[in-house]
Amino acid sequence: MENFILDLLKKSGADGWAVRDEIRTGWEFYFIRHALDQNRVRETEHITLTIYRAFEEDGKKYLGSASAELAPTATETEAEKLIRSLLFEAGLIRNRAYTLNPPCGDAAPLAAAPELRTIAGDFLRAMKSVKESAEADINSYEIFTDSVCRRLVTSTGIDVTDVYPSSMAEVVVNARDDRREIELYRMYKSGSCDAAGLKANVEETLRFGRDKLRAGKTPALGKCDVVFSTDDALEIYDYYIDRMNAGMVYQGISDCEIGKAVAEDKGGDKLTVRAVKTLENSSHNGAFDDEGAPVRDMTIISGGVAENFYGRRMFAQYIGLEDSFSPGNFVVEGGGKTAAELRTGKYLEVVEFSDFQVDTASGDIAGEIRLGYLHDGDSVSVVEGGSVSGTLRELGGALRFSSEQKQYNNYLIPAVTRLCGASITGAEG
C-alpha cells in the first residue's frame, strides 16, 4: 500500500475511513487425469477504500458510507479522484448513526506466512493416492494454493495485519458402463490441505458416479425422513446460524430472541453452535474481521436456545451490542446418536442435488434429487429424480444429528443429519 493513500485519506475531510489491502501469492496446477498440463505462480493485490460521512438532517443523525476498489497501480491523482467520489456518495447514504470499531491490542496475527510448497505438495500427493477403477476415474483436476496477507488501517487507529493460507481443489470424475458415461464435479475449499479428507471425498464421489449408472427413478414417497451426509447439510445449519446475525435481526428477517428456543421442541436433538477463532485447515482463520473487530470463541446457540448474536458493527449497535464481530468459523456440536444409529429404518439418503436451498427468511427447503439411496429395512435402492421439500419452521425441532462430525472448510458439522417428515415427490415417467 502506497503511503500517499493514507495521507490523502487523512486530509480528505472524511468523518471516518478504512483501507483494506489484500495481497495473494498463489501457485496453480492444472492436470488432465494425472498428467500436469500447466502450472503458474501469480500475485494479486486488491485495495479497497471505505469513506464515512456523518451528518444531521431533520434532527436525525446519520453515518453514510461508500466503498470502492482502488487499483494497486493507481497514481496519487487517481486515488484523490476516487476519494472525492466516495465522499459524495457517502453523503447520500442515510444509515442511522453508529460508531466505528476502536483499536484493540488483541488482534495479533495468528501465524507466520504459510509455506506454499508444503501445502501444494500435500494436495498433489493426496490426489495421486486416490484409488480409481476402470468404471470410475479422475478426468481432470485443478489445485490452487494461496498465501493471503491482509492489512486493515482505519481512521480510529486500527492497523492490523494477518497472514493465512487459502486453497481450493476442483475435481472432475467420470463413471461409465457399456451404455453411457457420466461426469461429476466437486470443489473443495480449505486453508492448508486435509489430505486424508480430500482423498476420502474424491473416492466417495467416484463411488457416487458408479452408483448413478444403475439408478432407478425415485418413487413418490409422500412424507419420508431424509438423511444428509454431504455438504448440502450446511444449508440446514446455516439457516440457524444466519438467523443469529444482528443484521437479520435488525431487519426483521429473523425473529430469534436471546434466551428463547430457535426451534419448536419436537423431540429432536438440541442444537449447539459455536463461533471459533481457529479451525484446523480452515481458510477463514483470522485474528480480526473485515472491520477490525477482534475475533474470539463464542457460543451462539446452546442446547437449542439463542445465546449470542454476532455481526457487523452497524447492525450490532442498532440492536444494542457493543462488543460484536463477524466470525469466520463455526462448529455445530454432534447429537446423541451415532451415524449408524441414524441410518436405520426407512429413509432416503440424498447425496447429490442439482441444487439444495433453505430460505433464510421462511425456512422453506427445496432440492431436486440427482442421486439418492432409498433404505427400506434391509433393502437399498439407488434412485434419481424427484425432489425434497418442506420447511424448517415445522421440521427443525425434530432434526437429529450424529455424534460424529465432518469438516467443510470453515464449518465443522455433524457427519449425518436426519430431517424427519420431509415431502418427497417422485420422478416423472
Residue 408 has pLDDT above 90, yes or no: yes
Mean pLDDT of the chain: 95
Same domain, 197 and 221: no
Residue 112's pLDDT is 64
The last residue of a domain, from among 144, 178, 210: 210
Residue 104's pLDDT is 80
Give the C-alpha separation, 317 to 327, whole Å: 17
The last residue of a domain, from among 210, 232, 260: 210
Residue 427 has pLDDT above 90, yes or no: no
* Number of domains composing the chain: 2
Task: Provide mean pLDDT across the span 110-134.
Answer: 89
Residue 90 has pLDDT above 90, yes or no: yes
Same domain, 250 and 136: no
Give the C-alpha separation, 154 to 19, whole Å: 6
Same domain, 41 and 117: yes
Domain of residue 420, residue span? 216-429
Residue 108's pLDDT is 57
Same domain, 62 and 88: yes
The last residue of a domain, from among 181, 210, 239: 210
What is the band of 172 on the pLDDT scale with cuts at 50, 70, 90? very high
Residue 378 has pLDDT above 90, yes or no: no
- DSSP labels for 172-205? EEEEE-SS-EEEEEEEEEESS--HHHHHHHHHHH
Cβ atoms within 10 Å of 10's Cβ, excluding its own: 11
Question: Would the pTM of this model clear 0.85, i.e. be above it?
Answer: yes
**Model confidence pLDDT, tens digit, residues 46-65:** 999 999 999 999 999 999 99
Share of the chain above pLDDT 70, in %: 97
Give the C-alpha separation, 403 to 175, whole Å: 33
Where residue 12 sits, what CATH number does that domain have?
3.30.2290.10
Closest CA to 263 of 88, 73, 395: 395
DSSP helix, strand, coil percent of the chain (3-state; round to 5):
20, 45, 35
Same domain, 172 and 245: no
Which residue bears the cell 480409481?
A: 132
Same domain, 182 and 236: no
Residue 114's pLDDT is 75
What is the band of 253 on the pLDDT scale with cuts at 50, 70, 90? very high
Top pLDDT among 337 and 429 is at 337
Helix boundaries (H) for 356-396: 392-395
